[in-house]
Structure 1
Amino acid sequence: MICASVRATRPLALACALLWPAIALAEPTAAQRTVLDGYVAAARTGEPGFAATAERGRAFFFAQHGGGKPDTPACTACHTADLKGPGRAKAGKPIEPMAASVAPGRYTDPAEVEKWFGRNCKDVLGRACSAQEKADSLAFLLSQ
């Protein structure tokens, strides 16, 4: 447990106690971890030792790609920069928040996650996302 190691001072213990709910929410569920592990395993077939990072996923999510549809040059075109808030598809359909901390049921069904990666990567990139891009993006979204 993270807070168990913070007993040295009263201010640190208090800060940890106040922050612990937010820290706990960022931890993926077993089902989410299984989906992420599947993408990491796929990425390792092409790159042994690959490890997904939220930092690369964040950069990918916020990058302007422009290889796909002109009105969706980045993931944020529909999902917005506020991952804890709703987005809106170009057709007007509402999109639930992307952050796993506010949408704990997201990213638990491998087929559903793959379906949306397939559709969204084509729209934004004009191609399929690589296993590495999927793993990094999912690591980022699960950290939010």
Structure 2
Amino acid sequence: MKSPPIQRGLTLSGLVLVLCGASAQVTTPQAQLQRWQAAAGQSGQAPRGQEFFTRRHGGEWSCASCHGQPPTTTSRHASTGKPIQPLAPAFHAERFTDSAKVDKWFKRNCKDVLSRECSAVEKADVLAYLVGLK
């Protein structure tokens, strides 16, 4: 027997919610720092992270161009003007709490700033800096 259209829609919606929820990997900023330190084989260094965050790396933008310096208040994207919530976890509780989002934004933003992906050392350093902001 064929399901009514509304029931099929609800079943499909439920499946989408389950699949989306399953892909979200709940984490903490400290766990993300530990993850990238393990990948780098060394501890993240907050001073290096701050320097990396504020430097332009030969391009037009730095991380601070969009996230502000220090990244503890709402800022605006350098080209679109779209508001960006504080990046430092102590100032925005949702930061670095979803591994998939962390990976997505590191990849996208590093390519914008460096024209390449960030290394594990660079990620560990930036996270050490951001986690240390209080």
TM-score, shorter chain, exceeding 0.5? yes
Task: Work out which of the two has the higher radius of gyration on C-alpha atoms and give 1 or 2.
Answer: 2
- Whether the 8 Å contact between 1:35 and 1:109 is mirrored in structure 2 is no
2:105 maps to 1:105: no
Identity percentage of aligned residues: 45
- Measure, in 1, the Cα distance between the counterparts of 2:80 and 2:104: 18
Structure 1 residue 101 displacement after superposition: 1.4
Unmatched segments (≥5 aa) in structure 1: 1-29, 45-49
- Measure, in 1, the Cα distance between the counterparts of 2:28 and 2:90: 14
Structure 1 residue 66 displacement after superposition: 2.7
Which of the residues 74, 83, 86 maps onto 2:71?
A: 83
Which of the residues 7, 29, 35 maps onto 1:32?
A: 29
In structure 1, the partner of 2:24 is none
Count of aligned pairs: 106
SS of 2:38 mapped into structure 1: helix
CA RMSD of aligned residues (A): 1.4
| TM-score normalised over the length of structure 2 | 0.73
- Measure, in 1, the Cα distance between the counterparts of 2:51 and 2:123: 12
- Measure, in 1, the Cα distance between the counterparts of 2:102 and 2:50: 17
In structure 2, the partner of 1:129 is 118
- Measure, in 2, the Cα distance between the counterparts of 1:139 and 1:107: 12
